[in-house]
Amino acid sequence: MKTRRVTAAIASVLALSLGAAACGGGDDNGGNGGGSGKKDAALTSIVNPSSKKGGTVTYEHSDVPDSLDPGNTYYGWVQNFSRLYARALTTFKPAAGKEGLEVVPDLAESLGTPSDDAKTWTYKLRKGLKYQDGTPITSKDVKYAILRSNFAPEALSNGPTYFKAYLEGGDKYKGPYKDKSADGLKSIETPDDNTIVFKLKQPFADFDYLATFSQTAPVPQSKDTGAKYVQNIVSSGPYQFQSYEEGRGATLVRNKNWDPKTDPIRKALPDKISVKFKVNPVTVDNDLLSDKITGDLAGTGVQPQTQPKVLQGKYASQTDSSYAGATQYIALNVNVAPFDNIHCRKAVQWGLDKQSVLDAMGGSPKGDVATTLLPPSVNGYTKFDTYATEGHKGNVAKAKEELKACGKPNGFNTILTARSDRPAEVAQATAVQASLKKIGINIEIKQFPSGKYFSNFAGVPSYVHEHKLGMLSMAWGADWPTGFGFLDQVVNGSAIKPSGGTNLSELNDPAINKALKDAIGNTDDAARTKAWGDIDKMVLDNASVVPVVYRKNLLLRSESAANVTVTQAYLGMYDYVLMSSTK
């Protein structure tokens, strides 16, 4: 069978959620800047379209990345941004609206060719691909990149491990830093320099989506230095690093050995791209308003303090209220008491006033109250509410019944985490604290930096257990916009890792694990889509995840930003491959 590039279900949902937006202004030579468009124009069109080359695109971010190494990252904004210097086998098309969800060939000549049972996938690389130093890019470099990113947790722990989980022999392979054999993992074959073949344990219908991950961006083995590779990344895209300062920022300039003939999807208009980290998030907003920068690299929208200013007056026309394809939720760690008891988990489900939490985060511009883990824009979403309460304000009586059932009739003490550089998440945590105090659950809030949240704290089970972190703030968007692309890395037991984990509940339910495995191996599109909603219900019955908000991003375009459009493939942020500047 041949997987479809984007399902009709995804397209129809997004057509409804994005709505009709007018095309942005601006002429082909730079126009009047990003502010010349209308409100929400970038949801379905390119605002301030321009073909003008040159200039510098400047970004700021409130924290640091988990890593800019394409093989050691899991943040959506890095996956989006890294396409400027790291080309994957496939990618999402840089385009406006629904077209931006289309998977297209990148390093590969075409989408993958599957066997009849979807257990073997073959890709052919384009001819003439080169690194920044002029050396050829080969299929062996792609294989090596996948091996280092999936099989070397001692050095690279931040990214997902889909390849390890689904390749034949992946559970036994020790990784390229320990295995010095010439062949490496034999279930990835490279019969020639332009061909790569993946042999899987079971059918995997979404493999073209998996190939969009930056983990398939080539890495020359001779240049790899493990965790230190981030300091000297070898570019396969139109830009290369001129400088990189850990925790401070980076500057990218043109890669002279990038050949646009081998890359039909990137226009590479700016001459330079500058990134600055650790900028106060409100300062980032103000710099956008004053047009000091081109964009906010985090891509999560303006802060609650800035919201009133941009929703009225002249700035309103520069905003895009984008569905992020993400759910803000609280993970209840099933290995931290008292959440090892399902009734204590259900007490939180019934007791939480979700409307008050949304209000604290900034109200409707920040999203809608969530009742499921899957957000509405993901294929497989099914509308249900296992813990339905009037106005989403909680049910104290039912919460106290569950507290009694779990042996804590008077409530209990626990800890809730939040990311310190995300004011909306801290506000969410404070509202949760106030809401649950009404039923006797006393919460201490502990804050951590987002750049190390998964690698050092919330994603490290030993740390979580030692410090009794029972409730963990989490926001998750689909790795790709299907139910599997959303659910697998947050509810599958195979996603629990010593560090860098994203299954913060540490949910390892055999029935849920099996349901995920069976569904992704099913080549019947309709049956596979139905399965994702069924699995979502199983997770809510387990009560280890408390959905809070289907997230929106109130994005702000700067006046000088050109070629601005929202990409739903990357959590509803702007597409950084397209963006340029009139400055």
Q: What is the pLDDT of residues 162-217, one digit of tens each?
A: 999 999 999 999 999 999 888 899 999 999 999 999 999 999 999 999 999 999 99
Q: What's the rounded Cα separation, in Å, for the pair 551 and 214?
A: 24
Dump pLDDT digits (tens) for 68-122.
999 999 999 999 999 999 999 999 999 999 999 999 999 999 999 999 999 999 9
3 state DSSP class of 378: coil
Count CB atoms within 10 A of the CB of residue 474. 25
Q: What's the rounded Cα separation, in Å, for the pair 480 and 150?
A: 18
Dump pLDDT digits (tens) for 239-294.
999 999 999 999 999 999 999 999 999 999 999 999 999 999 999 999 999 999 99
3 state DSSP class of 486: helix
Closest CA to 479 of 176, 66, 145, 160: 160
Between 96 and 424, the more confident residue is 96
Closest CA to 120 of 172, 189, 170, 217: 189
Contact 566, 552 (CB under 8 A): no
Contact 582, 562 (CB under 8 A): yes
3 state DSSP class of 355: helix
The structural domains of the chain, ordered by start, are 322-553 (3.10.105.10)
Per-residue model confidence (pLDDT) at position 481: 86
Q: For residue 375, what is the DSSP state?
A: -
Give the residue ranges of DSSP H helices in 318-460: 342-351, 354-361, 396-405, 423-437
Q: For residue 454, what is the DSSP state?
A: I
Q: What's the rounded Cα separation, in Å, for the pair 120 and 142?
A: 17
Backbone angles phi and psi of 307, in degrees to 5? -50, -50
3 state DSSP class of 189: strand
83-115 burial code (b ≥16 CB/10 A, e <16): bbbbbbbbbbbbbbbbbbbebbbbbbeebbebe
Per-residue model confidence (pLDDT) at position 545: 98
pLDDT, average across residues 564-576: 95
Instruction: Say which amino acid occupies 110.
Output: S
Phi-psi region of 515 (alpha: psi -120 to 50; beta: other; left: phi over 0): alpha
pTM of the predicted model as reported, rounded to 2 decimal places: 0.83
pLDDT, average across residues 474-478: 93
Quick one: pLDDT band at residue 433, thresholds 50, 70, 90?
Answer: very high
The angle formed by the CA atoms of residues 434, 501 and 577, to the nearest 5 degrees, is 95
Cis check for the bond before 238: say yes or no (omega within 30 of 0): no
Instruction: Copy the structure tokens of residue 212.
Output: 């969009």
Residue holding tokens 């931006």?
Answer: 100
Q: For residue 384, what is the DSSP state?
A: -
Mean pLDDT of the chain: 92
Dump pLDDT digits (tens) for 125-177.
999 999 999 999 999 999 999 999 999 999 999 999 999 999 999 999 999 99
Instruction: Say which amino acid occupies 548.
Output: V
Cα distance between the two ends of the chain: 48
Helices and strands, number each (H, E), in the chain: 15, 21
Contacts of 411 (CB under 8 A, 6+ apart): 403, 439, 440, 441, 442
Contact 88, 112 (CB under 8 A): no
Helix (H) or strand (E) run with residue 210 in it: helix 207-210
Dump pLDDT digits (tens) for 369-396.
999 999 998 999 999 999 999 999 999 9
Count CB atoms within 10 A of the CB of residue 434. 14
Per-residue model confidence (pLDDT) at position 566: 97
Per-residue model confidence (pLDDT) at position 36: 55
Ranking 32-41, 301-310, 445-454 by mean pLDDT, the lowest is: 32-41
364-380 burial code (b ≥16 CB/10 A, e <16): ebbbebbbbbbbbbbbb
Helix (H) or strand (E) run with residue 540 in it: helix 525-542
Contact 583, 293 (CB under 8 A): no
pLDDT, average across residues 449-466: 96
Quick one: pLDDT band at residue 312, thresholds 50, 70, 90?
Answer: confident
Dump pLDDT digits (tens) for 9-46.
333 333 333 333 333 333 333 333 444 579 999 999 99
3 state DSSP class of 131: coil
Contact 17, 11 (CB under 8 A): no
Contacts of 137 (CB under 8 A, 6+ apart): 107, 125, 129, 130, 131, 218, 236
